[in-house]
Amino acid sequence: MKRLRPVLAQLLVIVPATCLMMTPASAQDPAAPEPAAPATPAAPAGLPADPVGYFIGMSVGQQLAGQGFKPEDFTPAGIAEGILAALAGKEPALTGEQMQAIVQQIQTTLEARQEAVMAERGKVGAANLEKSSLFLEENAKKEGVKSLASGLQYKVLTAGTGQKPTAEDIVRVHYTGTLIDGTVFDSSVERGEPAQFEVGGVIAGWRQALQEMKVGDKWMLYIPPQLAYGERGGPGGGIGPNEALIFEVELLDIVR
């Protein structure tokens, strides 16, 4: 059978590695008899009727969504037709030139969407930077708030008497992180378990503050964007680009 170059390989991986353990019929010995299809057990209540198909579809869908595809870019029938044709070893219904043209169309669409996302992110980042700057400017005037040359601001809530950690030390802390509007985005206090990490492995604002703190200290940290997640924003989308962050941090111990 004539095989076309896999032009879509650069855009997506259709089946995850875990699915490659299944051997397609086209890879079997042509002289061997076709094995009887195993009976499909009834799906337990609450599960999809076809769990294997659902798993494959969910895996493919997650990859497509991660690359910027939207449901309106294709039809489920078209996806199913292509998969079934490939599994059956049929000749592609599209020529190589047609497939290349579709790849170009896909690339153009996804690039345009990415540019739109970046443009919108730039607008959000500019607005956040202005709000962060105004907040920090006013916050610096409040009683008890001190500022470092880097722009980091802090307020001592409880004074400890222990040692100060270095960048190489592992520390144990309790903390609650909020945006300047009060939204909590992370909290070891709410989880009921202190966090433990290397001082040099966290954002710059934390690194600076921790090396100034003593075991037993509890501080409020007011971290400007450039010492937090900057223009990128935080992982998971809870922290936008150029957002100032507020943390209540208690240094519990230096583990090593």
* 99, amino acid identity: M
Higher pLDDT, 32 or 231: 231
Q: Rounded to 5 degrees, what are φ and ψ at 219?
A: -125, 155
The average pLDDT across 61-78 equals 94
The average pLDDT across 164-189 equals 97
pLDDT at 36 over 90: no
Q: What is the pTM of this model?
A: 0.67
The domains found in the chain, sorted by start residue, are: 142-254 (3.10.50.40)
Confidence (pLDDT) at 37? 52
Q: What angle do CA 122, 126, 129 make, to 5 degrees?
A: 135
Residues serving a catalytic function are: 175, 185-186, 203, 229, 247
What are the CB-based long-range contacts (under 8 Å, 24+) for 183-187?
185/234, 185/238, 185/239, 186/238
What is d(CA 239, CA 228) in angstroms, rounded to the nearest whole number?
Answer: 10
Higher pLDDT, 193 or 24: 193
Confidence (pLDDT) at 237? 80
The average pLDDT across 62-89 equals 94
